Amino acid sequence: MSDAESAVSETEKNAEPVETVKDQPEAEKAADKAVQNEEQANKNTLEIVREESKKWEAQARESSAKLEDLQKQLDEARVKISSIQNSAEIDRARFAAAEKFGVPSEFLQGSNAEQFEESAKRLKDWKTHQDFSRTDTLSLGNEPAPAENEERKSQRFLLNVLKNSRH
C-alpha cells in the first residue's frame, strides 16, 4: 500500500461517525416534518370531505322536501282527475238515458245509469199521460177569441141598435 492509501485508511479508521450522528437528527427532523405534512394533508382532506359531505346532506334534505311537495301535488292532481272522470261518467249515463227515452237530460235525477234510466222512464210516462187538450187552462191573452154563436150575435146587434136609437 502506498503512503497515501494508508493515510486514507487510517483516517477512515480513526474517523468518528460524527457526521452520521449530525445527519441523523436532520433526517429525523425531515421525517417528522414529512409525517406532520402528511398529517396536515390528511386533516385538510378530512375537512374537505366533511364540507362536501355537509353540502351533499343539505342538498339531499332539500331534494327530499321538494320530492314530498311534488308527491302531494301529484296526489291532489290524481284526486282531481278521478273526480273529473267520475263526473264525466255520470254525465255520459245521464245523456245516454235522455237520448234513449227522448227526454231532456237536465230533468233526470240519479247518480248512476240505472237511476237515470228509471228517472227518464218516469218522465217519459208523465209526458205521454199529460192531457194538453184541457180548455180550462190559464189564458195568457195570446189565444184567439172564442167563436161567437148565433144567439150571441143577435144579442149584440140589438144592444147596438138601442144605443144608436137614443141619440
Length of the chain: 167
pLDDT of residue 146: 59
- Do 117 and 101 contact (CB within 8 A), yes or no? yes
Q: Give CA–CA dist 167/161, Å, rounded.
A: 11
- Do 90 and 68 contact (CB within 8 A), yes or no? no
Q: What is the mean pLDDT of the chain?
A: 79
Q: Give CA–CA dist 95/69, Å, rounded.
A: 39
Give pLDDT tens digits for 55-86: 999 999 999 999 999 999 999 999 999 999 99
pLDDT of residue 30: 80
pLDDT of residue 52: 92
Query: Which value, to the nearest 10 degrees, does the dihedral of the CA atoms of residues 93, 96, 100, 103 take?
Result: 90
Q: Give CA–CA dist 93/87, Å, rounded.
A: 10
The reply to whether the predicted model has a pTM over 0.85 is no
Q: Give CA–CA dist 26/20, Å, rounded.
A: 10
pLDDT of residue 134: 46
Q: Which stretches of the chain score pLDDT less than 50?
A: 18-21, 131, 133-136
Residue 152 Cα distances to 22, 106, 132, 157, 159, angstroms:
157, 48, 29, 9, 11
